[in-house]
Structure 1
Amino acid sequence: MRIAILAYDGCMGAEVLGLSDVLLVANRISLLRSPDAPAPFSISIIGTKAGQVRLAGGAQLSVLAPMPFDLLVVPAFDFDNIEGITTALAGLDEEKAFIRRAVEQRKIASICGGSLLLADAGILDGRQATTAWALAGEMARRYPNVEVIPDAVLVRAGEIITSGAFTAYGDLALQLIRDSVGSSLARAVGRFSLIDHSPRSQATYLDHRLSHKRRESLERAISTWFEKRLADRYRLDTLADAFNLSSRTLLRKFRAETGRSPLELLHDLRVERAKLLLETTTLSVAQVAAEVGYLDVATFSRLFARRTRLTPATFRKRFHVADVTVF
């Protein structure tokens, strides 16, 4: 399979080189298994024209001119704020035109925020797609004709595959290996590279405090108010009084800004706090639940699992920071 990775000024170098290297590992393992068989992947790093591109962070990378390929992979771009997304996309007209030409005859994949570049090129309209969880809300706002699946690591929509946050280049690589060669080689590459080849979800890693979205003043103010009272019982009338609004007006204003209720925001903030406690303390699950306002452990555990795809105990086992690290 001929895979071309599209590099451009400001793109994330680790996604370009990481994908290339994982597929190189696949070639090497395949050769060890079948010395006389051809390598399953031909990987090239291309630009819209040959030359040098400046990666995010400043490193220079030589890229080839476009050449025949079966799959084009588009990595993410760097930005520092929401306005920076608009600026970055405005400077990538040549890449968007190249993507539009490519999708007419070839398969396309993206890594992380590269899906915003696909969406801005207009090729995701009417399709499902994913992106980095922190960008999902902004992507949905910018491209209402795209059905964004925020917690998915990989989404296949016809001939287009989009993948989740930064290191999802590993998940994409294993999927390409499975598609082209088979699960046996994908498992071997996953073990060699320490990439989990079992199905994953971005929901486990989501942190609403880091999401790149426009947070209007009411949501920001209510978030701050909730964060000081996470363990308190939720009462809509108390919240409304704190902001000198009627309950009905507060609900209407908040839903107009965010598309959800204040209680849903509170649940998110409580789960974020619970994740921190599970990661950094030895409090029992019941104690953590109480710390964030849930007296019923079963209710807390169900809510936590819905939002993270892990039980509290499994989350702690995976992410708890131990006092002693063994290398």
Structure 2
Amino acid sequence: MTDSTSLRIAILVYEACTGSQVFGITDVLRIGMDLGLDIKARKGPAFDIELIGLAGKSIKIAGGISVGIKRPAGKYDLLIVPGLEINRHVDWDKRLASLSRELAFIKKTFAAGTAVASACVGAFLLGEAGLLNGRKSTTAWLFAPELARRYPATRLQADAVFLEDGAVMTTGAVSSSFDLAIQLVKRTLGAEVATATARVALLSNQRASQSPFVDSALMERGLPAFSQQLQLWFSERLADEYDLNRLALTFHISPSTLLRRIKVETGQSPLDMLQLARVEKAKQLLSNTTWSIARITAEVGYSDVSSFSRLFTRLVGETPARYRRR
């Protein structure tokens, strides 16, 4: 029997969804509940967690593993949508079309007043259901450009680990489902229990950015051809001053068309792309050379170390010196 104050959470289990997110979130919440009983002296669990699905009593998730599920029943406080098993060459139209029942359920549940959270590329299901329109969102950094292309009405923040906009929450790549769980523990049981939960589970409760983990080579291979050309052009001219008109002239299009096309393909501006390219080069030099930060700053086109350090910290989530040490 749960407390009347328990948060009723449903995790939507569907074909080929990612088990680590389904069970990882559940496990962290259960650790939080156990610690909450001690630290907060609760008399009952803080979360009532159900694995729900829309077909039968079991379903095969990623890896062909069968998981027992319940049919949805009653009103939930929160619906969590895990990510799904995909690769960079996935046919999103076909994959999402196969989840039409789940998409309709997400949309209906949200309209009925239930908050909705996605883990990793579960954000694509939220986008397809229309929940990201006009809202901030994030997803796995590798698939962020595709999310921006498919759902241009969302305000994508590709580097974020966890975002909340109204009753919609989204998270970054695979392990950020743990960040979602820690956030739920924090708001339900308090910061002390959340910190203890993170320590017991060997998790960080302060991750703010995916940027330290981004592999620019993987990102570039996943971009449309035009954006790849622009990325290559920038990589060969990192020290050049940014000039939108010159850039547009080089690619034989107008500045407005260039801005619009890059926004559609990547969710960024050309200047964003250049800044990221400069920071990625700096990351390589910090890791692979003993050059001073001043020399690295000049190498990637900046004359002021402080200004570049602020940019680096904003995009990476830590200073150049700390990145080098780590």
Q: Unmatched 5+ residue regions in structure 2?
A: 1-6
Contact 1:79–1:85 (CA under 8 A) maintained in structure 2: no
Deviation at 1:315, TM superposition (A): 1.8
Cα distance in 2, alignment partners of residues 284 and 110 from structure 1:
41
Equivalent residue number for residue 62 of structure 2: 56
Q: Take 2:168 and 2:136, find their aligned partners in 1: how far apart are those partners?
A: 10
C-alpha offsets along residues 9-47 of structure 1, whole Å, 9 cap, x if unaligned?
A: 121111111101101111222234467711112222221
Distance of 1:235 and 1:167 partners within structure 2:
36
Q: Is the Cα–Cα contact under 8 Å of residues 11 and 81 in structure 2 kept in the other structure?
A: yes
Aligned pair partner of 2:102 in 82, 95, 105:
95
For residue 79 of structure 1, what is the aligned residue in structure 2?
86
Shift in Å, 1:276: 2.3
- How far, CA to CA, are the matches of 2:228 and 2:208 in structure 1? 31
Structure 1 CA distance for aligned equivalents of residues 290 and 57 of structure 2: 54
Structure 2 counterpart SS, 1:166: coil
Q: What SS class does the counterpart of residue 62 from structure 2 fall into?
A: coil
Matched, 1:257 2:264: no
Question: Which of residues 29, 32, 41 in structure 2 aligns to 1:23?
Answer: 29
Aligned length: 313
CA shift for structure 1 position 222 = 3.7
What CA distance in whole angstroms lies between the structure 1 residues aligned with 2:221 and 2:151?
Answer: 13
1:47 aligns to what? Answer: 53
Q: Secondary structure at the match of 1:44?
A: strand
Query: In structure 1, what is the equivalent of residue 171 of structure 2?
Result: 163
Look up the equivalent residue of 1:163 and give its one-letter code: T
Q: Structure 2 length normalisation: TM-score?
A: 0.83
After superposition, the C-alpha distances for 1:91-119 in whole angstroms (9 at most, x for unaligned) are 10111111122111322111111121012
2-side partners of 1:248 and 1:110: how far apart? Answer: 40
Q: Deviations over 1:302-325 (max 9, x none)?
A: 33223223221122233xxxxxxx
CA displacement at 1:262 relative to structure 2: 5.2
- Post-superposition offset of 1:180: 1.6
Task: State how 1:85-164 maps to structure 2 within 5 Å.
Answer: 85-103=92-110, 104-164=112-172
**Superposition CA RMSD, Å:** 3.0
Query: 1:174, 1:28 → 2: CA distance?
Result: 14
Greater mean alpha carbon deviation, residues 281-290 or residues 249-258:
249-258
Q: Following TM superposition, by how much is the alpha carbon of 1:252 offset from its aligned partner in structure 2, in angstroms?
A: 5.8
Q: What is the CA–CA distance in structure 2 between the aligned matches of 1:59 and 1:154, rounded to whole Å?
A: 28
Provide closer, same or farther for how the CA distance between residues 10 and 21 of structure 1 changes in structure 2, counting only shifts above 3 A: same
2:127/2:151 contact within 8 Å kept: yes
Greater CA drift, 270-279 or 6-15:
270-279
SS in 1 for 2:131: coil
8 Å CA contact 2:137, 2:154 repeated in 1: yes
On the 8 A contact 1:251/1:262 being kept in 2, the answer is no
- Would you say the 8 A contact 2:242–2:271 is kept in 1? no
Letter in 1 for 2:106: I
Q: Secondary structure at the match of 1:126?
A: coil
Contact 1:274 1:292 in 2 (8 A): yes
| Distance (whole Å) between structure 1 residues aligned to residue 220 and residue 233 of structure 2 | 21
Q: Deviations over 1:163-198 (max 9, x none)?
A: 222111111111111222211111110111122222
- State the partner residue of 1:197: 205
The amino acid that maps onto 1:9 is E
Q: Label 1:213 to 1:93 Cα distance change in 2 as closer, same or farther (>3 A).
A: farther
Q: Give the partner amino acid of 1:170.
A: F
Q: Which runs of 5+ in 1 are unaligned?
A: 319-327
Contact 1:23-1:173 at 8 Å conserved across structures: yes
Greater Cα offset, 189-198 or 254-263 = 254-263
Residues in 2 aligned to 1:159 and 1:262: alpha-carbon distance in whole angstroms: 32
* Percent of aligned pairs with the same amino acid: 37
* 1:131–1:285 distance in 2 versus 1, CA, 3 Å: same
TM-score norm. by structure 1 comes to 0.82
Q: State the Cα distance separating 1:4 from its structure 2 match.
A: 1.4
Aligned-partner Cα distance in 2 for 1:277–1:39: 49
